[in-house]
Amino acid sequence: MATLAPVLLFLSLFSLSGFLGLLLWPAIGWAGVVIPILLVVLGLTSWRIKHRDWRGRPDPQSARQLMLGGSMGLIL
């Protein structure tokens, strides 16, 4: 979990700068919003697949890390 938090924080700051970019440069500002959201979804999905396939249940520690990582991504 310690390695996931800085990545989510960086992507959230990148996303906030994208929202500012939407106000100043609407033609390219959308990339600063969409790209971080897609990267967070991709990162959480790949983490989930790596720790257990979709039909299996992950161990409790992995499930807790995934839940906290997803929550941080939504909050940030």
Instruction: Give CA torsion, residues 46, 68, 73, 11, to 10 deg.
Output: -70
Domain-wise residue ranges, the chain: 4-75
Integer Cα distance of 69 and 17 in angstroms: 21
For residue 43, is pLDDT > 50? yes
The one-letter amino acid code at 68 reads L
The pLDDT assigned to 56 comes to 58
Cβ partners under 8 Å of residue 39, min gap 6: 11
CA distances from 56 to 23, 49, 52 (A): 44, 10, 6
Using one digit for the tens of pLDDT, what is the confidence trace for 5-27? Answer: 666 666 677 667 767 777 777 77
pTM, two decimals, is 0.44
